[in-house]
Each structure stands twice: as structure tokens, then as C-alpha cells.
């Protein structure tokens, strides 16, 4: 396999799927001539033309609504929302229209559309461009949510999303675009709803996602030097979620830490903690630890941002507490 960047893996998925299915088209702000704010769609306008790479006005509610209509009538649109923070502007279209249309029509209508967006801090983009909103999407039935952490996964999961007949939100992290990983040349998909064990271990289960997964693995290696054997699980998909993978791991290790970049309060870690309480409480030898961002707007100052967001040291401290 070759080693390519996360952003190139996304571009390859888009090119391959657009060549495979002529009903797939892209909509978004600055995705054509400019090539996207993170240059993921650079060159696609020349390759596929303006009818399939559609430059939109600055109106998320407008072009997400247009994509829903396209999806209901035979197309398979992929919408790029420049920053996840801007999905609030299109929240009615996403949550009250796309998510509910199949249910409200008794299955007569499907909405095979994908929303690509990126989130997270670490670049000093301040409070309106640094949020992690995955928990919001998981709360709304009718939308699938993928949050891949590696180039291999983002390509395979984006392909799965584009072939799915339901609305799928694929959430990327802005600090992952330049990361590299092995990706096959041949066609492949990664199923939605299947977690991955990134590191086997016996002492404690560490569940994470997106960029925080990389920090979790760093913390796991540091913990190993202290004699703590960590099993690290990458969720990859939040809806559907591979709950069995977490439960089975906790039954083996008897301890659980969940780490994510979104706010700790009502984050995905709270849901996982509740699920383990319901399904594996008798196996726990220590309270579940949750690691997340402080419950404040993400600061612009780099020093304050570093303190507000969870880092390797925060995860390591949680691993020490739960195994003490």
C-alpha cells in the first residue's frame, strides 16, 4: 500500500465515486475554483465541470435544502459545509427535513445525501470555528454519523457514505488533513458502524475518536512505560455505534476511559458511560473516566486553547486514576 495524506484520501474517494456514479455531485462554498478551504476539492471543477461541482452562495440553509431536493429526486449530492460550526445555519434542513423525510413518507422517499464537514480546535481559529459538534448529530434519529481518524478510514467510510441511501454526516478534523497513512490503490469500503481496536491491552479500555484517537494512542504508549496495558478502541462511526466492541473490551479489562475533543458535558463519553452502566456494570472495577474539552467556548489564545482542549497528559492522568 502507498502512504498518502488524509486530504488526498478524501479527494480520491470523491473522484472514484463520481466516476463510478454519474448521479453524485458536489455542492459547497469555494469548492470549485478555489479548491475548498482545505484544498480537498482542488482540480475537481476542471475534471467534472460546473454541473457536478457546484459553487454555492454563502447560504448553508439554501444549498443543503437544494441537496435534499436533489436526493429525493434521484441524485446523490455531497454537500461540503466549510466549518462544522456553520451547520447550525442549516440545522432545520438537516434535522427536520433530511433526517425525517424517509420516516414521514413511510419509506416511499429516501434522502441519499452526504454532508462533509470539518471541526475541532488546535489552530487558533477561536470560538466560532473550533467547535466539535458530533454529539449534536448523534442525538437526531435519521442521520448516520462517521468520524474517521485515519486516511484509510476516511476514504473507505466516505465511499460507504456515498453509497448509502440515508443521510450521512462525515466529520473530519482540521488537524488531520496533513497526516499520512497507508491506503490501498484498489477499491475498498469501510462499513459504517464498526469500531477498530488500534491497540490491544488487558488493564483498561480507552475509547476515542477522530484526532483525539491519536492523542489517546500517545497516552497509551506512555502508560505502557508505567506498566498500564491499554486497549485502545477507535469508534470510527457514532451512528450506528459499535457498542458490542466497547462492552466486550470492558468485560476483559474491567475499566473504561472515554476521550473526545467535544465538551465533556453531554458529550459522546456520557452516552458510552451510560451504555456501559446498563450493559457491563458488574464487570467494572473502577468508576468510568471521561476526558473532554472544558465547558467553555474554545479560546483564540493558543495557551488558553491548549488548556481548554484535552491533550495527551489529560488522557494519561485519567488512565492513571482508573487503574490506581
* 178 & 294 share domain: no
Q: CATH code at 17?
A: 3.40.50.970
% pLDDT > 90, the chain: 100
* pLDDT for res 1: 85
Q: What is the mean pLDDT of the segment spanning 97-123?
A: 97
* 130 & 206 share domain: no
* 169 & 145 share domain: yes
* 169 & 273 share domain: no
* 202 & 178 share domain: no
* pLDDT for res 142: 97
Q: Could you say which of 126, 159, 183 is where a domain stops?
A: 183
Q: Does residue 189 sit within a domain? A: no
Query: How confident is the model over 313-322, as pLDDT tens digits?
Result: 999 999 999 9
Q: What is the mean pLDDT of the segment spanning 287-299?
A: 97
Give the C-alpha distances (Å, rounded to integers) separating 96 from 80, 149, 181.
19, 28, 37
Which region holds residue 135: left if phi is over 0, alpha if psi is between -120 and 50, else beta? alpha
How many domains is the chain partitioned into structurally? 2
> Whole domain around residue 295: which residue ranges?
196-323
Query: How confident is the model over 66-101, as pLDDT tens digits?
Result: 999 999 999 999 999 999 999 999 999 999 999 999
Query: How confident is the model over 183-198, as pLDDT tens digits?
Result: 999 999 999 999 999 9
Query: Which pairs from 13-20 meet CB under 8 Å and 24+ separation?
Result: 13/154, 13/155, 13/156, 13/158, 13/159, 13/162, 14/40, 14/41, 14/44, 14/78, 14/158, 15/44, 15/47, 16/159, 16/187, 17/158, 17/159, 17/162, 17/163, 18/44, 18/48, 18/52
Q: Does residue 143 sit within a domain? A: yes
Kindly tell me if the per-residue pLDDT of 238 is higher than 90.
yes
The residues carrying an active-site annotation are 60, 129
Kindly tell me if the per-residue pLDDT of 291 is higher than 90.
yes
* 205 & 178 share domain: no
Whether the CB-CB separation of 141 and 175 falls below 8 Å is answered with no
Amino acid at each position: 500500500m502507498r502512504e498518502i495524506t488524509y486530504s488526498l484520501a478524501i479527494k480520491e474517494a470523491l473522484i472514484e465515486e463520481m466516476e463510478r456514479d454519474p448521479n453524485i455531485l458536489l455542492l459547497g462554498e469555494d469548492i470549485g475554483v478555489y479548491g475548498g478551504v482545505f484544498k480537498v476539492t482542488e482540480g475537481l471543477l476542471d475534471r467534472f465541470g460546473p454541473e457536478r461541482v457546484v459553487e454555492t452562495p454563502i447560504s448553508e440553509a439554501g444549498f443543503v435544502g437544494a441537496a435534499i431536493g436533489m436526493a429525493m429526486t434521484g441524485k446523490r449530492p455531497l454537500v461540503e459545509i466549510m466549518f462544522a460550526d456553520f451547520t447550525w445555519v442549516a440545522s432545520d434542513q438537516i434535522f427536520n427535513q433530511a433526517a425525517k423525510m424517509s420516516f414521514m413518507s413511510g419509506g416511499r422517499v429516501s434522502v441519499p445525501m452526504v454532508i462533509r464537514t470539518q471541526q475541532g480546535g488546535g489552530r487558533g481559529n477561536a470560538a466560532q470555528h473550533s467547535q466539535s459538534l458530533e454529539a449534536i448529530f448523534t442525538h437526531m434519529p435519521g442521520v448516520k454519523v462517521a468520524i474517521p481518524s485515519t486516511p484509510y478510514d476516511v476514504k473507505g467510510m466516505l465511499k460507504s457514505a456515498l453509497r448509502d441511501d440515508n443521510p450521512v454526516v462525515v466529520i473530519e478534523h482540521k488537524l488531520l488533513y496533513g497526516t499520512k497513512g497507508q491506503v490501498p490503490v484498489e477499491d475498498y469500503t469501510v462499513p459504517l458502524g464498526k469500531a477498530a481496536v488500534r491497540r490491544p491491552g488487558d488493564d483498561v479500555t480507552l475509547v476515542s475518536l477522530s484526532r483525539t484517537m491519536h492523542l489517546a494512542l500517545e497516552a497509551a504508549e506512555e502508560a505502557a512505560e508505567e506498566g498500564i496495558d491499554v486497549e485502545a478502541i477507535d469508534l470510527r462511526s457514532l451512528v450506528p455505534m459499535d457498542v458490542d466492541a466497547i462492552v466486550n473490551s470492558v468485560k476483559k479489562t474491567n475499566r473504561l476511559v472515554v476521550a473526545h475533543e467535544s465538551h465533556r458535558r453531554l458529550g459522546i463519553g456520557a452516552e458510552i458511560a451510560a451504555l456501559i452502566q446498563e450493559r457491563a456494570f458488574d464487570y467494572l472495577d473502577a468508576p468510568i473516566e471521561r476526558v473532554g474539552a472544558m465547558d467553555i467556548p474554545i479560546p483564540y489564545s493558543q495557551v488558553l486553547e491548549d488548556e481548554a482542549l484535552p491533550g495527551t497528559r489529560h488522557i494519561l492522568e485519567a488512565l492513571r486514576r482508573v487503574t490506581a
